[in-house]
Amino acid sequence: MMLKLYNTLTRKKEVFRPINKKSVGLYTCGPTVYDTAHIGNLRTYLFEDTLRRSLEFLGYGVKQVMNITDIEDKTIKKAIQQKKDLSVVTKPYIKEFFEDIQKLNIETADAYPLATGHVKEMIKFIHKLMDKGFAYQGKDKSIYFDISKFKNYGKLVGLKNIKIKDGVTASSDEYEKKDARDFVLWKAKKKGEPSWKSSWGEGRPGWHIECSVMSMKYLGETIDIHTGGVDNIFPHHENEIAQSEAVTGKKFVNYWVHGEHLLVGGEKMAKSAKNFFTLRDIEARGYMPLALRYIALSAHYKSKLNFTWRSIEGADSAIWNLWRELGRLKYMGQKEATKTKKGRLKEHRESFKEAIEDDLDTPRALSLLRRVITDVDISSEDRRALSYKMDQVFGLNLINSDKLYKIPIHIKTLVSGRELVRRNQQFVKSDSLRNKIKSLGYEVEDTLYGPFVWPTRNRKSRPKT
Ligand SMILES: [Zn+2]
């Protein structure tokens, strides 16, 4: 089989054929840094990370670029409200964003360009659109993209002659456009706003142009994959296609891949609806950030997913159990004589690859992981090795089981002491030692090969991962 991805552009699963297998170009729309990201935003970044990890697992080289939107209506509004420089307002949220993705074990992209670092290139790009007749200046001095000049407008969202109500992009009165569907490329300065000089006067770039320019600068005129949340499809990505293809005359993106929303109580999580949680809320309740990652993996990226505190509790405990199972396999591996049945590992490897290649079927891949861990026809060491290999895609830090396996010496001493009295059938003593070990944060499980000891899952105080 070959990797198949659902392409929003063609509305079907397609075999992925990269321009260059050694360097797959992946552009992911990044955060608008005016506030703390909510876990709905993080679900999108997690899906994009799974895509990247899957590509790498399947042997592709990946060059990923994720922009940081620091020039946008919301960042500017906040700067004006707080009477601060734009960079002073965005800086703490940029910092938080990097903290969040690190906690979620999201792989680092190759570049995180800031819009503020690319305004000159954006101005140049808009000049090209003007020269080619795709853009015009409104009476308010802003520059607009003329949708009537671009024949294929609407190909991503799948609508011909899209009717847009005023206000979806910007109100026509406010910006004096020719057509309500036209979108802004350059916004003329309004009083108090941060601005940049251009031949059309002071102003700032629109959001859509930022992504087209940074995508092309770092990845070239045509790229393999562009991702984002489903709410980016229209108008953001549709407009990116229009601007980019109008300038180059070439296809902008071969595969558009979009992740679904995270819901709360069946509703879309949104800042405006005030029904959102952040990663800090999850941590404050004593759960691991990785629990959110587990939740994201447990549903297909194209399915809506309802967030509940019960689901995060389940995910947190599921990760802890995986670590424990793998720790137990390490313990067993040192004692058992099981030989792996011929062909069995290959079977599992292939099923796993198939699940990933089928448009990143992570729920199926997770159930395969559990099957590998419990397969008695495979030696403990081989089960562990294969699980770690699969974790290249999951990113659940399964190798952490090795770290947790290092039980402190004072606990080991207590465990050996308990084993001694237990063998002598001094059960009262052995039980009281078990309780003592438990009070120190460890659990003893009597196995065929002797006592296996493991840290207790404890939401409040747990080893750093
Ligand atoms: Zn974007």
Task: Using the mean position of ligand 1's atoms as its centre, give its distance from the Cα of residue 145 in Å.
Answer: 17
Task: Using the mean position of ligand 1's atoms as its centre, give its distance from the Cα of residue 237 in Å.
Answer: 7
Gap between the Cα atoms of 315 and 296, Å rounded:
10
Task: Using the mean position of ligand 1's atoms as its centre, give its distance from the Cα of residue 208 in Å.
Answer: 6
| DSSP one-letter code for 377 | T
Give pTM, 2 decimals.
Answer: 0.94
Is domain 17-259 in CATH 2.40.30.160, yes or no? no
Gap between the Cα atoms of 366 and 390, Å rounded:
9
**Looking up tokens 């004593």, which residue turns up?**
286
Give me the pLDDT at residue 164, please.
Answer: 53
Task: Using the mean position of ligand 1's atoms as its centre, give its distance from the Cα of residue 204 in Å.
Answer: 16
1-10, 239-248, 265-274 — which is least confidently predicted? 265-274
Task: Using the mean position of ligand 1's atoms as its centre, give its distance from the Cα of residue 144 in Å.
Answer: 18
Q: Where are the domains of the chain?
A: 17-259, 290-404, 409-455
pLDDT tens per residue, range 41-72: 999 999 999 999 999 999 999 999 999 999 99
Gap between the Cα atoms of 453 and 327, Å rounded:
9
CB atoms within 10 A of CB 6: 18
Nearest to 215 by CA among 205, 227, 203, 204: 227
Q: Rounded to 5 degrees, what are φ and ψ at 238?
A: -60, -40
Gap between the Cα atoms of 306 and 97, Å rounded:
23
Q: Would you place residue 162 in the very low, low, confident or very high pLDDT band (cuts 50, 70, 90)?
A: low
Nearest 5 degrees, angle CA 146-CA 72-CA 86?
140
Task: Using the mean position of ligand 1's atoms as its centre, give its distance from the Cα of residue 211 in Å.
Answer: 5
Gap between the Cα atoms of 281 and 285, Å rounded:
7
Gap between the Cα atoms of 360 and 303, Å rounded:
12
pLDDT tens per residue, range 291-343: 999 999 999 999 999 999 999 999 999 999 999 999 999 999 989 888 999 99
pLDDT tens per residue, range 126-149: 999 999 999 999 999 999 999 999
Task: Using the mean position of ligand 1's atoms as its centre, give its distance from the Cα of residue 214 in Å.
Answer: 9
Gap between the Cα atoms of 242 and 274, Å rounded:
33
Q: Are strands 183-188 and 143-145 parallel, antiparallel or unpaired?
A: antiparallel
